[in-house]
Amino acid sequence: MSEYPIFTPDQQSEFLEFYQRHNYGVLSDAFSAEDLRYLNDFVDRSMGEIPKEWQPAIENVHSHGQIIVNHPEVDPYLQHTTAFPLVQAIMGRDEVRFAQFDFRDVPRGLGDTPMSFHRDRNFYPSTDATRRNGVFKESNYLCVIHYLCDVKEGDPCFCVVPNSYHQKYGSIEEAREKMGDAYQEVPIRGPAGTAVFYNIDIYHTRRSGLAQNSRRTQHSYYSCATSPPLTNWVLVPQRLAEHADADQRRYYSQWSEATQEFADAGYTTAYYETHVIDKRT
Ligand SMILES: O=C(O)CCC(=O)C(=O)O
C-alpha cells in the first residue's frame, strides 16, 4: 500500500489538483514499453560509445547532462506527450521554458553514496518580482523524474517532503520542527515508466539502496518565463536554439551563460569538448 496516490495519464485534473495541494505528484505509465525500450537502448549504446562523457561526476552515479547537444534522437522526450501537457498546465502554456534534460544511472554493485535532503537552485529564492500568480504560484521550476527501470524496496529511490517549500524552512531540521504533523518523507517506488513531478523548491533526496542494486532515471527540469535560468552550464544546441518554429524557439530561449558562450563560439565541437569533456577528466 503506497502512502501517496498514483494517477494514470487520463486522470489529468485529479493529478493537477493533488500537485497543487502537495507540490508533487506521481503518474503511472508516463513512458510506454516502447519508450522504455528506446531510451534504455539509447543509454546503453551511448554509455558504450562515449564512456568518457558518462563518467561518474558525483556519488558514483553515471550521468550525462548535455546529451541533447549531439543527440536529436532524444528530442521527442524534451516535450514528451504524456508529461508535457501536465507541465504546461502547471508552468503555463506560454510561460514554460526548457531548463535541463539528463539521464542518471546508479550502477549495480557499487551503490550510490548517500545524498542529503536539499532543494535545487536554493541560491534563488523567489521574490515579489518573480513570484507567479495563480494556484501553481510556488512552482517557479519543476522537475519530472521518469523511472527507466522498476524501483522496488531496497533500490535507490527518490523521496520528497511534500510542501516543504517555504523559505522559512532554512534546513530539513527546521522543516521537520516547524511543519509538525505535516512533515512527511515520502519515498517513491514503482514500475518502469513511473514519473514523479515535483517543485524543486521542496526538500527532496535520493535514498540510497542496497549496494548491489541499480537504478536508471531520466530527469527533465522546466523553468518559466519569470524565472532566471536554472543553471549556468546547460547547453542548448543550435538546432533547438534556432528552431524554425517560433513557439519552439521561445521554449528553448532561456539560455544559461554557457549556452550564450556556445552560441557566441558558433556552436563548435571545440567549445563542446572544452565545456563538457574536459570538465569530466
Ligand atoms: O536521483 C534522485 O533520485 C534524486 C536526485 C536529486 O535529488 C537531484 O538531482 O536534486
Check if the beta carbon of residue 26 is closer than 8 Å to that of residue 196: yes
Q: Determine the pLDDT at residue 135.
A: 83
Please, which pLDDT band fits residue 212 given cuts at 50, 70 and 90? confident
Residue 138's pLDDT is what?
84
* Ligand 1 neighbour 80 (Cβ under 6 A): no
Compare 278 and 136 and report the one with higher pLDDT.
136
Structure confidence by residue, pLDDT tens digits, 22-37: 999 999 999 999 999 9
Residue 243 has a pLDDT of 98
Distance CA 156, CA 105 (A): 10
Structural domains in the chain, CATH included, are 6-227 (2.60.120.620)
Query: 158 CA to middle of ligand 1, Å?
Result: 7
What residues contact residue 74 under an 8 Å CB cut-off, 6+ apart? Answer: 39, 42, 67, 68, 101
Which atom belonging to ligand 1 lies closest to the Cα atom of 200?
10
The closest residue, in CA terms, to atom 7 on ligand 1 is 205
Task: Specify whether the CB–CB gap between 181 and 153 falls below 8 A.
Answer: no
Q: pLDDT value at position 13?
A: 98
107 vs 161, more confident: 161
Q: Which atom of ligand 1 approaches the CA of 217 most closely?
A: 1
Question: How many whole angstroms from 64 Cα to the centroid of ligand 1?
Answer: 14
Closest atom of ligand 1 to CA, residue 120? 10
Q: Are strands 215-224 and 142-147 parallel, antiparallel or unpaired?
A: antiparallel
Mean pLDDT in residue range 140-166? 95
* pLDDT higher than threshold 80 for residue 124: no
How far, in whole angstroms, is CA 98 from its chain's centroid?
Answer: 11
101 lines ligand 1 (CB under 6 A): no
**pLDDT confidence of residue 61:** 87
Question: Which ligand 1 atom is the nearest neighbour of the CA of 106?
Answer: 1
CA of 127 to the centre of ligand 1 (A): 25
**pLDDT greater than 60 at residue 118:** yes
Q: Is the shortest distance between the CB of 205 and ligand 1 below 6 Å?
A: yes
The fraction of the chain above a pLDDT of 70, given in percent, is 93
206 CB within 6 A, ligand 1: yes
Q: What is the pLDDT of residues 229-249, one digit of tens each?
A: 999 899 999 999 999 999 999
219 CA: nearest ligand 1 atom: 9
How far is ligand 1, taken at its centre, from the CA of residue 225, in Å? 24
What does the pLDDT read at residue 281?
Answer: 42
Instruction: Quote the ligand 1 centre to 205 CA distance (angstroms).
Output: 5
pLDDT higher than 90, residue 277: no
Grid coordinates representing 13?
Answer: 485534473
Residue 114 CA to ligand 1 center (angstroms) comes to 11
Q: Which stretch of 72-81, 96-105, 168-177, 204-213 has the lowest confidence by average pLDDT?
A: 204-213
Q: Ligand 1: which residue has its CA nearest to atom 1?
A: 206
Residues 202 and 59: their CA atoms lie apart, in Å, by 21
Residue 59 sits at φ, ψ, to 5 deg, of 55, 30
Task: Label residue 114 by pLDDT band (50, 70, 90).
Answer: confident
Q: How confident is the model at residue 278 (pLDDT cuts 50, 70, 90)?
A: low
pLDDT value, residue 113: 76
Chain-centroid distance, C-alpha 172:
21
Share of the chain above pLDDT 90, in %: 77
Q: Is a pLDDT exceeding 70 seen at residue 199?
A: yes
Question: Does the beta carbon of 231 sit less than 6 angstroms from any atom of ligand 1?
Answer: no
Neighbours of 106 (CB within 10 A): 24
**For 208-231, what is the mean pLDDT?**
92
Whole-number Å distance between alpha carbons of 56 and 54: 6
Q: pTM of the prediction?
A: 0.95
Q: What is the mean pLDDT of the chain?
A: 92
State the number of CA atoms in the 13 A half-sphere of 223 facing the CB.
25
Do 60 and 54 form a contact (C-beta atoms < 8 A)? no
